[in-house]
Every structure is written in structure tokens, then in C-alpha cells.
């Protein structure tokens, strides 16, 4: 599951080069799995995250702070953000400054594989990964790093997708081919759910939930982005679901 297929530098260059393309299709909330409007997505995430006024959170893989900004506006919490892309960090800071939120949101360029080198131990009330953990070449290391910087009683939340399993060998081959395409086009390493959960359960945590999302996925933005940018995942064959989307949350003892 955790085979290294690309580096953090590869991901940095990818988002430096592609961020404008993402913003043209997605706006500043670069989330592929979403309901039919940004407000509904933010409200749904806030229910799962349960952000609280005055608490300090880390948005790990924050992009241009598209989710962090409304989180702060709605809850008056404090958020630090980290993105591997210096281009995204620059745009996030510009957006934060334009809204006068510099005292509430701080974004830096950095590598989330080394969170404990960048932030103090037990310093955050929560860490969340919104479609960002799959960009890791070593997600188990990233989660261990997140664990170090979360306070006892704090949480780690993951929104991501996982390879679908099938008892049909031919279908499993088709799934693997599409997953390989996703990884190549998006600089991703689509994870397997069971090994990830196994890794989490070996940490000193309470697994709060592993669940599917309540909203209906609206694929129009994702389809528009892929069409505009020549991304072909199914090689001309009929589309199907090669992965399942889940949200995972655990609390540090």
C-alpha cells in the first residue's frame, strides 16, 4: 500500500504548475468529492470536524486555504495551514490578507511528512487532511507526525478515497488500471482502506468513525476539469467506481 512512487518535490512542482487550472474549474475550494455547492460542502465538513471557537487546528495540505477561510469565518477558530506548493502558499496568503484574517489563519509552504519539525508537540486541537493524504508517498509516517503535534483529546480527520475491492479478478484488473491512471495524472497514491485503518488502530487513539458521506457526489466540476485538461482515466471504456470515498476520524488519548 505504501510503496513510494513519487516524491514531495514531484507534488510541489505539480501544484505549482497546475494550481491555476484547478482554480479555473474548482474555484478556491479544490475538492473533487463534493455536493452541488461550496456552502453545502463546508457545512457538511464542519459537522464532522466539530470546530470550536478559540481552538487551533492544522489544515494539512491546505491548498489555497479555500476551506480554512470559511471555517474561520463561521467558527472564529484559529487555523494554521501547510501546503507543499509555494505557489499555493502565496495565493493563500494573498486571499487571507485581502479578508483581514491574518490574525486567524497562517499558511506556510512545507512538507507534511515532517510536521513535528515544523510545529510543537501537543500544540493543535485537531489536524485535518481534506483530499490531501493521498498525495503522500508515506501516509503512515504523515499520520504518525500528525499524532505528535495533536494535543491529548485532539483529533485527526481524513477525507479521501480508497481502492475498491472486487472478488471478480477481471474487475480487479480494471480497477487497478484506472487507479494507476489516477495516480499518474494526479500525482496521487490511492490508498487501501484496511491497511490504513490497521495502522491507525496501532496508535494510542480512539477510532471515532469510518463512514461514507451523507451528501450526493456532484461530478460535474471534476468532469469539467478532466475534460479541459485531457485527463482520461478509463481509456475509452465505460466508467465505473474504482474507489470509495470515506471520512475517518480518530482522537488521541
Q: Pull the grid cell for residue 27.
A: 474555484
pLDDT of residue 1: 37
Q: Please work out, in degrees rounded to the nearest 5, the angle formed at the alpha carbon of residue 30 by the alpha carbons of 158 and 114.
A: 50
Cβ–Cβ under 8 Å, residues 14 and 61? no
Q: Which residues contact 94 (CB under 8 A, 6 or more apart)?
A: none
Q: Check: CB of residue 246 under 8 Å from CB of residue 212.
A: yes
d(CA 85, CA 107): 11
C-alpha cell, 238: 465505460
User: pTM of the prediction?
Assistant: 0.97
pLDDT tens for each residue of 51-108: 999 999 999 999 999 999 999 999 999 999 999 999 999 999 999 999 999 999 999 9
Q: Does domain 8-252 have CATH number 2.30.110.10?
A: no
Cα–Cα dist 148/77, whole Å: 21
Selection from 190, 212, 221 nearest residue 35 by Cα: 221
Q: Is residue 2 predicted with pLDDT exceeding 70? A: no
* For the chain, domain boundaries: 8-252
Q: Which tens digits make up the pLDDT trace of 49-65?
A: 999 999 999 999 999 99
Amino acid at each position: 500500500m505504501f510503496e513510494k512512487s513519487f516524491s514531495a518535490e514531484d507534488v510541489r512542482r505539480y501544484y505549482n504548475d497546475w494550481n491555476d487550472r484547478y482554480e479555473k474549474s474548482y474555484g478556491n475550494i479544490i475538492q473533487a468529492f463534493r455536493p452541488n455547492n461550496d456552502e453545502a460542502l463546508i457545512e457538511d465538513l464542519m459537522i464532522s470536524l466539530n470546530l470550536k471557537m478559540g481552538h487551533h487546528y492544522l489544515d494539512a495540505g491546505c491548498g489555497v486555504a479555500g476551506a480554512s477561510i470559511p471555517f474561520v469565518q463561521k467558527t472564529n477558530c484559529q487555523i494554521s495551514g501547510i501546503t507543499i506548493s509555494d505557489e499555493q502558499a502565496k495565493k493563500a496568503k494573498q486571499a487571507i490578507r485581502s479578508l483581514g484574517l491574518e490574525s486567524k489563519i497562517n499558511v506556510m509552504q512545507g512538507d507534511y511528512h515532517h510536521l513535528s519539525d515544523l510545529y510543537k508537540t501537543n500544540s493543535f486541537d485537531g489536524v485535518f487532511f481534506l483530499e490531501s493524504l493521498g498525495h503522500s508517498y508515506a501516509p503512515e509516517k504523515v499520520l504518525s507526525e500528525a499524532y505528535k503535534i495533536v494535543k491529548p483529546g485532539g483529533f485527526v480527520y481524513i477525507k479521501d478515497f480508497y481502492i475498491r475491492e472486487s472478488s471478480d479478478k477481471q474487475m480487479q484488473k480494471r480497477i487497478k488500471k484506472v487507479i494507476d491512471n489516477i495516480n499518474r495524472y494526479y500525482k496521487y497514491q490511492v490508498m487501501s482502506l484496511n491497511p490504513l485503518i490497521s495502522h491507525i488502530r496501532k496508535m494510542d487513539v480512539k477510532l471515532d468513525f469510518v463512514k461514507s458521506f451523507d451528501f450526493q457526489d456532484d461530478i460535474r466540476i471534476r468532469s469539467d476539469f478532466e475534460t479541459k485538461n485531457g485527463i482520461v482515466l478509463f481509456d475509452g471504456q465505460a466508467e465505473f467506481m474504482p474507489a470509495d470515498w470515506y471520512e475517518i476520524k480518530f482522537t488521541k488519548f
